[in-house]
Chains A and B, each alone.
Chain A
């Protein structure tokens, strides 16, 4: 079994509003898995369930074969302690739509923070690794800048480097280019493409159909909290089967 993420009938409600109405899907190890759909379709919520930023109400969600947020003994589920959840999150990198860089730290300090504080890596070691990662995302010369001194695209690339610093086995991208000027989107997508080529397992919520078609290995179209259609990106994007998919794609392509 080489499923990195496996969802079986995942439900999630915010109060009376049911956002996810039974999601079944499987993300294979090493693949780039794209989630598309209109806003409010639940794709971001599902992504946040994967690293337990949201608790699911029903169904089962596994990452690398282990249940997310719970431990199963016999037929009983036990909630994990916060510290146990934190340990699992170390292996899952997340990139947010609004970057969420720490504004009181420079770029290199942002990247160093988690390895030093969570893994106990020495500062000098973390710094040189952080420099390497910033170099990889093309920002070696911006290491000493505070986030407010960087453009949106540069901030997002620092955020990617920050997530990579924990050596995750899975990367989650929550609309990483939606808050960017069109001109800056390309730089971020280049970094993500590079990451995909290195074999990283990636789950990407995106509106960039070009990226999905070119880099994606699988694609899921969600609407109204359910998976409407799934398959290889090129097939779904060029030859959608469902009416809903067709009408959505006709508007965004």
Chain B
């Protein structure tokens, strides 16, 4: 794209046979210069302020790959993946329940979503953590019996708190996706003699994925950040690990910066993955797939070299 900018640069290159190229003085956007200067000044101010702060920048690389930090990163990732797995499976189940013709299952799904979406996840986490105050034992009949405090470890508390909450949000995302598929698709599939289950699996869900994937990517990134809340239930994930080191090493603010950089790094990696997943489910929906960043670079380089070849190297 950017190679087209120098259109006006070489009137000498235009073929003499064509119509005379317009030579006009472009509009000057003075407002843009002003706003650029203002924003740069503000940015400079913030950078200056931080450079004046008593920050031991060296502490961040020193601890970036510390074993406790890496362990925290691993636990954060594990919690993100497992909570999202619970969320997605539960969400699909709840969405199908809500769309079912059975009034009992659809109202129960409605109630679940109403409850878990209507209360803050931090409150839910603390409630799970403190359920031991009301239940002495967990008793699943002949299957399992144990003291509540032994059963409800910080990990399980975090997992249930985050996963069950996420299911409520995923249910709404999945429901929107299923509803977005044209009814004609279901009719065509039924007319071919396909069963409800096959229609859902082969025709409706693959098309619903286009609508489901982008917000789900958002949810994954949200979940990664929300896992930091579980430090309140004593689970040693990334934020808690960074805070612990901060207290013992005497660099608490630096360790928070360190945690923030790790979160930023992980969310960036997830965003790239989301891009490719969206691209996969976009097949057939537009005439050609959007190019991958690598393909874009390749195309730009190619067009650049073609251009310089055809115009005698002026570009």
Q: When the two chains form their complex, are residues B193 and A114 in contact, meaning their CB atoms are under 8 A apart?
A: yes
Interface on chain B toward A: helix, strand, loop, or mixed SS? helix
A residues in contact with B189, CB < 8 Å: 102
Binds B, one of A4-12, A15-23, A81-89: A81-89
Binds B, one of A60-68, A91-99, A227-235: A91-99
A23 to B189: give the CA distance in the assembly, Å.
27
Within 8 Å by CB of B207, from A104, A114, A117, lies A104
Closest A residue to B193 by beta carbon equals A90
Q: How large is the interface on A (under 10, 10 to 19, 20 to 34, 35 or more residues)?
A: 20 to 34
Q: When the two chains form their complex, are residues B287 and A117 in contact, meaning their CB atoms are under 8 A apart?
A: no
Closest A residue to B201 by beta carbon equals A117
A166 at interface, CB cutoff 8 A: yes
How many A-B contacts at CB < 8 Å in the complex?
A: 76
B residues in contact with A166, CB < 8 Å: 192-193
A146 at interface, CB cutoff 8 A: yes
B residues in contact with A153, CB < 8 Å: none
Closest A residue to B188 by beta carbon equals A100
Q: When the two chains form their complex, are residues A102 and B188 in contact, meaning their CB atoms are under 8 A apart?
A: yes
Q: Determine how close the nearest CB of chain B comes to the CB of A45; give it in whole angstroms.
A: 13
A residues in contact with B202, CB < 8 Å: 113, 117
B residues in contact with A93, CB < 8 Å: 191
B18 at interface, CB cutoff 8 A: no
A residues in contact with B188, CB < 8 Å: 94, 96, 100-102, 159
**Given A96-B184, A102-B203, A117-B202, A86 contacting B287 (CB threshold 8 A):** no
A residues in contact with B206, CB < 8 Å: 104
A78 to B182: give the CA distance in the assembly, Å.
31
Within 8 Å by CB of A149, from B187, B190, B287, lies B287
B residues in contact with A249, CB < 8 Å: none
A87 to B196: give the CA distance in the assembly, Å.
12
Binds A, one of B108-116, B213-221, B253-261, B278-286: B278-286
B195 at interface, CB cutoff 8 A: yes
Q: When the two chains form their complex, are residues A117 and B184 in contact, meaning their CB atoms are under 8 A apart?
A: no
A121 to B191: give the CA distance in the assembly, Å.
18
**Given A98-B184, A100-B187, A162 contacting B192 (CB threshold 8 A):** yes
A: residues with CB less than 8 A from B are: 51, 53, 82-83, 86-90, 92-94, 96, 98, 100-106, 113-114, 117-118, 146-149, 159, 162-163, 166
Counting from the closest, the 9 A-B pairs by CB-CB distance are: A90-B193, A100-B188, A114-B192, A94-B191, A146-B284, A100-B184, A89-B193, A104-B284, A103-B284
